Amino acid sequence: MPVASTSSGQKAWMRRTTSGDLAVWAAWLAGVAIVVASFEIISQATIWAFVWDAPTQGADLIGRMFPPRWSYLDQLWKPMWDTINMATLGTGLAILLGVPVAFLAAHNTTPSALLVRPIAIFVIVASRSINSLIWALLLVVVFGPGTLAGILSIALRSIGFIGKLLYEAIEEIDRTQVEAVTATGAGRAQVLAWGIVPQIMPAFAGIAVFRWDINIREATVLGLVGAGGIGMQLQASINVLAWPQVTVIFALILVTVVVSEWLSARVRHAVI
């Protein structure tokens, strides 16, 4: 009842009623109380001596990391190349499998909303719910350590990502363009190729390049569990406490990610 009349007969307006105001204040109070209580619990579970020591430890670690051992770069080109290939091939495989899944999952293109669509959605959810590092852990057991496990774990994780974003794009297309192509007497496949595909091309290019960009970053980690690439070098260097080498690896990963980000931005700009 925000509108009321004052004693002078004019209409008054407030944002909330008095009880509404009180409810909002109570909610804020409860929020603050939860934060304070949580902090208390975290504080009790923390060994504060380590936290106070952290700046010294951090400075010590950084001290060990410098100067970087640049000569180590010679041994990194091959693993870095593997990493980029893992990301690229994994993304390619995910596109091959994810695009059909997207068409099966989208409301307006699925052959059967009762049977096929739930299966496609399940594939997407299953793929998305498992991180590529966990996929790699499993696949290294199955295929043995190496880049194949890395490629497959990246592909399996990316199917869901590509499938979900693409099926949302398919559902958002302009229906009248599809209607117009249908009205010419075109077959189902032709309606797909002429009415739908042109409309989702920009979204598709953006999604594919974006996922490739993410996969470059994910591929750098997968070696930690034995799935090949630069992560293996990183783990080896950390295991022998070769911190100057770790610095070089970090620098190389940073440069690669910056380049891939620049590339994907260029591609997206070119397609739209």
251 binds another protein (CB under 8 A): no
Q: Which residues contact 247 (CB under 8 A, 6 or more apart)?
A: 65, 66, 68, 69
182 part of the interface to another protein, by CB under 8 A: yes
> Binding to another protein (CB under 8 A): which residues in 23-82?
none
Indicate which single residue of 76, 89, 105, 181 sits in contact with another protein (rule: CB under 8 A). 181
* Residue 105 or 191 with smaller CB distance to another protein: 191
Side chain identity at residue 67, one-letter code: P
Could you tell me how many residues of this chain bind another protein (CB under 8 A)? 21
Which residues within the stretch 151-180 sit at the binding site for another protein (CB under 8 A)? 174, 176-177, 179-180
How far is CA 132 from each of CA 87, 125, 135, 221, rounded to the nearest angstrom? 11, 14, 5, 10
Q: Is 195 in the site for another protein (CB under 8 A)?
A: yes
**Region binding another protein by CB under 8 A among candidate stretches 93-101, 105-113, 184-192, 214-222:** 184-192
140 binds another protein (CB under 8 A): no
Residue carrying the six token digits 């970090």:
250
Applying CB under 8 A, among 23, 33, 193, 259 the residue interacting with another protein is 193
| Cα 248 to Cα 82: distance, rounded to the nearest angstrom | 17
CB of 263 to another protein, least distance (A): 23
Q: Which stretch binds another protein (CB under 8 A): 21-29, 55-63, 112-120, 199-207?
A: 199-207
Near another protein by CB under 8 A, which window of 9-17, 135-143, 191-199, 253-261? Answer: 191-199
Give whichever of 8 and 176 is closer to another protein, judged by the CB atom.
176
Q: Is 190 in the site for another protein (CB under 8 A)?
A: yes
Listed in sequence order, the residues at least 6 apart from 202 whose beta carbon sits closer than 8 Å to its beta carbon are 271, 272
Cα distances (angstroms) measured from residue 90 to each of 84, 98, 139, 151, 243: 10, 12, 14, 5, 30
85 binds another protein (CB under 8 A): no
Instruction: Give backbone dihedrals phi and psi of 7, rounded to 5 degrees, phi first.
Output: -65, -30
The amino acid at residue 166 is L
The answer to whether 235 contacts another protein (rule: CB under 8 A) is no
Q: For residue 187, state whether it binds another protein (rule: CB under 8 A).
A: yes
Query: Does residue 194 belong to the site contacting another protein (CB under 8 A)?
Result: yes
Please report, as residue ranges, which positions from 200 to 229 form the binding site for another protein (by CB under 8 A): 201-202
Smaller CB separation from another protein, 30 or 193: 193
183 makes contact with another protein (CB under 8 A): yes
Are 125 and 205 in contact by the 8 Å Cβ rule? The answer is no
Q: Which residues bind another protein (CB under 8 A)?
A: 174, 176-177, 179-187, 189-190, 193-195, 198-199, 201-202
